[in-house]
Chains A and B, each alone.
Chain A
Amino acid sequence: GKNEYDLLVIGGGSGGLACAKEAAQFGRKVAVLDYVEPSPQGTSWGLGGTCVNVGCIPKKLMHQAALLGSALKDAQHYGWNIAQPVHHTWSVMAQGVQNYVKSLNWGHRVQLQDKKVKYFNMKGSFSDPHTVRGLTKAGKETIVTADNIVLATGGRPKYPTHIAGALEYGITSDDLFWLKESPGKTLPSFILYVSLECAGFLTGIGLDTTVMMRSIPLRGFDQASQMASLVTEHMESYGTKFLKRCFPTKVEKLKSNRLQVTWKNTDLGTEESDSFDTVMWAVGRAPDTKTLNLETVGVKTNSETGKIIVDASEATSVPHIYAIGDITEGRPELTPTAIAAGKLLAQRLFGQSSELMDYDNVPTTVFTPLEYGCVGLSEEAAVQCHGSDNIEVFHAYYKPLEFTVAERDATQCYMKMVCLREREQRILGLHFIGPNAGEVIQGFALAIKCGATYPQLMKTVGIHPTCAEEVTKLHITKRSGLDATVTGC
C-alpha cells in the first residue's frame, strides 16, 4: 500500500514488543515507537515497558531479596552459624537488580534489530488515522505511516494530586526500583497489590514501613476479604505497620529533609502526623493516552477510566487501529495476557488465524511476603454468578513443612477451592496463600482450563511433602463449619 509500514506499534512493553516480533516473523514491515516520559521525580528507563523496568521483574527480585533475609533467620534452626541480626545494603541489591534490568533492555534492542523491526525512541501522537508523528526527547520529528496501528502504551502510577505536597515530595513504584540509596522509613500509601508487595519487601529487608489504607486491602481480588485479610495479617505479624481507615491530608518537607505526613483517622475522628524518609503512592494506575491524540482519529475511551475500549479482537472504534495490554478497558493488567493478546493479534492480522484471546481463568499471584496465588472465580464472584446454594467452598489451614523446624508462624497459610455443587462439581476457582504460591497455582490453571472437577482432583495423587499436595486433599467445606486445620501426615 501507500503506507510505509504494515504495522506500527506504539509502546515497547510486554504487549507491544510481543506483537511487533510476531508480525515480523510473517515477513511484515514493522516499526515500534517506545518512549518513557520521566516520572515527576525524574526517573526514566529503557526499552521493555513497565514489567521489565518498574514492575514484575524488579519487584520479584526485591521480593526475593526479602525472602532471603527470612531464610537467613531460619537458617540458624537448621544448623547454620549466621551472626544475627543480619543487615541489608540497599545499594548492593539495587545495583544488581538495575544491572539485570539494563541487560533486558539491551536484549530487547538486539531482538528487534535482529528481527528487522524498526525501533524509534520517540513519543507518538496521531496526525491522522494512518499517520503518527514521533518526537524524540530533543524535539526531532519523524512521520510514520502504517496500514495497521497497535496501541500498547500501558499505564503510569497515579498521584493523589488533591493532597498537598503529594506530587512534589512523594514517589511511586516508578521511582522506588531505581533508587540508588535506601528509601529509609517508608510510607507506601493506600492499598493495591503494588503497595502491599512493596511494603512487604521493604519490611523484609529491614526498613521501618507503614501502610496507610483508607478502606479495604486488595480491591478486586477475592473480595470475601478473607484472602486479603490473611495476607495483611501476616505482614503485620512480620513487622509492617498498618494505619487502617486513615487517609493523608498533606505532605510537608522538614528542615532535616524528611517528610512530615498528616492524616485523618476516620475511626477515631482524629488528625495525626509522623515523619518519614520516603512517601510512596500506590493509588492506582492511569492509562498512558493523553499525548496520543486519540480524539483526532476517533478512538473511543472509557469516560471514567480513560482506557481504550476494544472488542474481543482487540479492535478499537477505528477499523485498523487496535489496542492491547494495560491501556485497554476491562482487561487484566498483566504481562502474560498482554503478550498473548499481542501475538494472537499479529497472527490474525498477518497469519490467517482467527483465534481470539481467552481472558477467562487467568491465574495470577500477589508477591507479598506470604504469597497469594489464585485462578478462576473468587468466592464472592462465584456466589454472585451461581448463588451460594449452588457452590461448595472447600478450605484448609495448613503448615508448610519448612516452617516447623524454623519455628515459623503458619497461621495465615490457607487455601480454598470454589466448586459447583451439582453434577460433576466443576472447579470454579482456587486460592492459595503460602510460599511459592505462583509455582503452586500455575499447574492448576491448566486443570481449570480443562474443566477439572472435584472428583478428578480427589483422584489426583499429591506430591509429598509439599504445600501443593494439600490442594488434592481439600475436603472440609465452609458449609460444614468444621475445623479446617490440616493435621499431620
Chain B
Amino acid sequence: MGWEEAQARGYEEFVRTAQRYHGRPIFALFCGDKDAEGRSWCPDCVTAEPVVRKELHNLPDESVFIYCLVGDRPYWKDPNNEFRRNLKLTAVPTILKYGTPQKLVEEECFKAELVRMLFTED
C-alpha cells in the first residue's frame, strides 16, 4: 500500500487526524489558511506547497501526509496558539515527521532535496 493524504483545519482536527493514523509514519505540512480564491495569507506557504507536493511520491509506503491549515493570520501571530504551544511550531510553512525532531521550516521547505531527505531519511 502506498501513501495517502488527509486534510485538517485547525489544531483539534489535526490531533484527531494524527491519532486516527497512529502507528504509521506521519508527515505534516502546516500552512496558513486559504481565501475564497485558494490563496494563502502566508506567501512562503504559497511557494512551498507545490515543491512539497512534487516530492510526495517519495513518501515511504504506509505513510500518511497530513495537509493542515493552521488558521488565519491573527490566530497564527498569537504566541500562545496551540500549534506553537503543543507542537512547538515556530513558523509556517513547517513540514515535519510527526513524533520526531525532524522538520523543515520556512525557506528550507522551498528546497526539493531537503523535502526529499525528510521523506526518505531514517
Contacts and interface: CB of A to CB of B under 8 A. Distances in A.
A114 B114 contact: yes
Interface residues of B, number: 11
6 contacts: A102-B100, A102-B101, A103-B101, A109-B117, A110-B108, A114-B111
Interface string A96-137: 000110110010011001100000000000000000000000
Contacts of A110: 104, 108, 114, 117
Given A114-B111, A114-B114, A109 B121 contact: yes
A230 to B, nearest CB: 39
Q: Interface of chain B, helix or strand or loop or mixed?
A: mixed
Contacts of A100: 101
B4 to A, nearest CB: 25
B62 to A, nearest CB: 21
Given A102-B102, A106-B101, A106-B102, 8 more contacts: A103-B101, A106-B103, A109-B121, A110-B104, A110-B108, A110-B114, A113-B117, A114-B114
Nearest to B108: A110
B113 interface: yes
Nearest to B101: A103
What 7 pairs between A and B have smallest CB-CB spacing? A103-B101, A106-B102, A102-B101, A113-B117, A106-B101, A113-B113, A113-B114
A114 B104 CA distance: 12
A109 B114 CA distance: 9
B29 to A, nearest CB: 17
Interface residues of A, number: 9
A109 B104 CA distance: 11
A99 B101 contact: yes
Contacts of B121: 109
A110 B113 CA distance: 10
A114 B121 CA distance: 15
Nearest to A103: B101
Nearest to B97: A106
A109 B117 CA distance: 9
Contacts of B101: 99-100, 102-103, 106
A100 to B, nearest CB: 8
A405 B100 CA distance: 43
Contacts of A106: 100-103
Contacts of B102: 102, 106
B109 to A, nearest CB: 11
Interface in B91-106: 100-104
A38 to B, nearest CB: 15
Contacts of B103: 106
A99 B111 CA distance: 25
Interface in A80-109: 99-100, 102-103, 106, 109
A110 B116 CA distance: 11
B110 to A, nearest CB: 11
A102 B117 CA distance: 15
A114 B117 CA distance: 11
Nearest to A46: B122
Nearest to B117: A113
Contacts of A113: 113-114, 117
A360 to B, nearest CB: 38
In the complex, which of the residues A99, A103, A106, A109 has the most CB atoms of chain B within 10 Å of its own CB atom? A106
Contacts of A99: 101
A109 B113 CA distance: 11
B80 to A, nearest CB: 22
A100 B100 CA distance: 10
Output the residue of B104, B108, B111, B117 with the most chain A CB within 10 A: B117
B11 to A, nearest CB: 21
Contacts of B111: 114
B86 to A, nearest CB: 15
